[in-house]
Amino acid sequence: MEQRLEKQLAFALEIDKVKNIFRQTHLSGNGRNENDAEHSWHMAIMAYLLREYSNEEIDIAKTMVMCLIHDLVEIDAGDTYAYDSEGQKTKKAREDAAKERIFSILPEDQRAELIALFDEFEANETPEARFAHVMDNLQPIMLNDSNGGKDWEKRGVTAQQVQARQSKNILGSKKLNEVTDNIIKANVEKGNLKN
C-alpha cells in the first residue's frame, strides 16, 4: 500500500479511540455519559445549523473541522472536567504531548494542517475558533439543562462557575450568549445551580 494512504488509514483507525473517552455530561433525557466523538459530532452539526448567529462571517467547513478534531487529544490526555481546577493545571501539557503523537501519525502536510487548526481553536482568536468555542460551551450546557441540571447538581457546580466558563461566548455569538445566560438563570431559579 502507498505510504501516504497507509498513514491516513492508521490515523483514521487511531481516532476511533475517541469513542471510548467518556465525558462528565450525560446524553439528553438522562441517558448515559456522552463520549468525545458524540460531543464533537454534535458540535459540528450545531455549528452548521447555527452559523447565522456568528458575530462575524465564518468559513463553516473550517469551523466544523475544528469542532471535529478539538478533543482528539483526549485519546491520550483524557477528558478534563470543565470545573476540575486541579486537572486544568496539567491539561495543556497533557494535550500538547497528545497532539504531537496523534497528529504525527498523518502524512506531514496533513499533520501540519490539523495541528494548525487545533492550535487556532485553542488560541480562540479567529472568527472560526470563537464560534467553535461557543459550540463547545453551548452543547454541554444544553444537555445539562435537558437533564434538569443533574450533572451540575451532583457535582455542586455554581452558577458563577458556569458563567465564567461561558464568559467568552459573547466574542463568537452575542445571540447564543443570550441563550446560555437564559439557561443559567433558569437553572438557578430551579435550584439546579447554586448561586
How would you write the chain as a 3-class SS string? CCHHHHHHHHHHHHHHHHHHCEEEEECCCCCCEEEHHHHHHHHHHHHHHHHHHCCCCCCHHHHHHHHHHCCCCHHHHCCCCCCCHHHHHHHHHHHHHHHHHHHCCCCHHHHHHHHHHHHHHHHCCCHHHHHHHHHHHHHHHHHHHHCCCHHHHHHCCEHHHHHHHHCCHHHHCHHHHHHHHHHHHHHHHCCCCEC
Say if residue 85's pLDDT is above 90: no
What pLDDT is recorded for position 1? 81
Residue 116: pLDDT band by 50, 70, 90 thresholds?
A: very high
- Give the tens place of pLDDT for each residue, 127-149: 999 999 999 999 999 999 999 99
Residue 79 confidence (pLDDT) above 90: yes
Looking at the chain, the whole-number percentage of residues with pLDDT higher than 70 is 100
